Amino acid sequence: MTYRERLEHAWTSSGSLLCVGIDPDAARLPDPLRGAEQPFLAFGKAIADSTAPYCAAFKPQFAHFAGQGRTDELRALCQYIREAHPDRLLVLDAKRGDIGSTAAFYAREAFEIHAADAVTVNPYMGGDTLEPFTRDPAHGVFVLCKTSNPGSDEFQNLRLDGGRLLFEEVARRAATGWNGNANVGLVVGATYPGEIESVRALAPDLPLLVPGIGAQGGDLKATLRAGLDARGTGVLINASRSIIHAGSKDDFGARAADAARALNEQINALRP
Q: According to the binding rule CB under 8 A, does residue 104 interact with its own copies?
A: yes
Member of 1, 36, 66, 84 binding its own copies (CB under 8 A): 66
Q: According to the binding rule CB under 8 A, does residue 115 interact with its own copies?
A: no
Distance CA 58, CA 113 (A): 17
Chain centroid offset of residue 34 CA = 27
CB-side neighbour CA atoms (13 Å) of 147 = 16
Region 68-97 residues binding its own copies, contact defined as CB under 8 A: 68-69, 71, 95-97
Binding pattern for the stretch 191-230 against its own copies, x by CB under 8 A and - elsewhere = -------------------------x--------------
Q: Can you name the residues that pair with 59 across neighbouring β-strands?
A: 21
Q: How far is the CB of 189 from its own copies (least distance, A)?
A: 9
CB contact at 8 A, 111 and 137: no
How many residues bind its own copies (CB under 8 A)? The answer is 54
Q: According to the binding rule CB under 8 A, does residue 103 interact with its own copies?
A: yes
Q: Can you name the residues that pair with 210 across neighbouring β-strands?
A: 237
Member of 14, 50, 51, 61 binding its own copies (CB under 8 A): 61
Distance CA 178, CA 73 (A): 33
| Nearest to 150, CA basis, from 195, 194, 93, 189 | 189
Specify the DSSP element, H or E, that contains 208: strand 208-210
The catalytic position among 45, 59, 95, 221 is 95
Q: Which parts of this chain interact with its own copies (CB under 8 A)?
A: 23, 61, 63-64, 66-69, 71, 95-100, 102-109, 112-113, 122-129, 144, 147-156, 158-161, 163, 166, 169-170, 173, 216
Catalytic residues: 95
